[in-house]
Structure 1
Amino acid sequence: MRVTERNRQNELISKFESNFEIQDDKNEGDVFSVKKALLETIGVLYVPDIDLKMAVFSNAGESALNEGAGLIVGTGNLIPYENSNSVVTSHNGDSLKDLFINVPKLKAGDHFYIKNRDSKIYKYEVFDTREVSPINEFEKVLQPKDNESYVTLRTCTPIGINSHRFLATGKLIEEVENIPDSSFTLSLFEIGLIAIATIALALLLMSIIKKDDQKENEKNGKK
């Protein structure tokens, strides 16, 4: 359930903000140590325009992407510095998790926020969105100019086909004290479910009306 996933994200974020590592009392020994290393939380991504709040891990391995978002190693880090473009990626969701399913809704002028280990909150403004082929993809990632600092949000598109990558690049605007409240938004998956349910309900109503008409015609025919 998506409610369960949101609760999971809140748990990860709470532990990050409390300076705790991700823990799982059921795991011990080397396996536990590897899991903790793979799921090292380095920040939190907030995108109020699409109601997204997600832990960001230190790498983009499958373990990280199944839990939240991951930083692609070698692209930078979440602490802004000049002429950097840190790429944060995640899956575009499934039947149980939204993950980055709504990231392709972002457009120029939207904002997202990243909270780092030092508790500083950085505000980014989206100025470029594009779909690119995965072939030589990183040659198409924007290079900062004029000593600017970028963060790019990346996911697969379109949903179910995943033939391309969607990139939303934001430019560092300022450090802020607070993050705005999120806007309510439906995921593409939820919109699809609503559409299917609406069609099913319409077909059911048409079937009921048709049966009623048949009964009425049969009743009139007997008179």
Structure 2
Amino acid sequence: VDQIKTITPDNMDNFGQEKDKDLITLVTCTPLGVNSHRLLVRGHRVPYTPEQKESATFWTFKKLLITGILLIFLAFVLLYVVNKSKKKKKVKNEKV
């Protein structure tokens, strides 16, 4: 991101191509709920390196793996608690 501007809807002359530049502009309404102005966020292309994608994918996979293991562990704990409470109810009902 190299530029952020807030403009009125009738002032849309900030768009246009610039020679020898690879730019993109995101346009959205602002402020939230009022939408009386336009927020322009402009950015330029950065060089792509394959190592960045591989490291990002690795961390995503690692996070998913850890989350999956934690969810399985929590499911086993929940099953244990439910079974234990059912056994207590069963024993309590047999005593009555």
TM, length-normalised to structure 2: 0.48
Question: Which structure shows the higher helix fraction?
Answer: 2
Question: Which structure shows the higher strand fraction?
Answer: 1
Q: Which has the larger radius of gyration?
A: 2
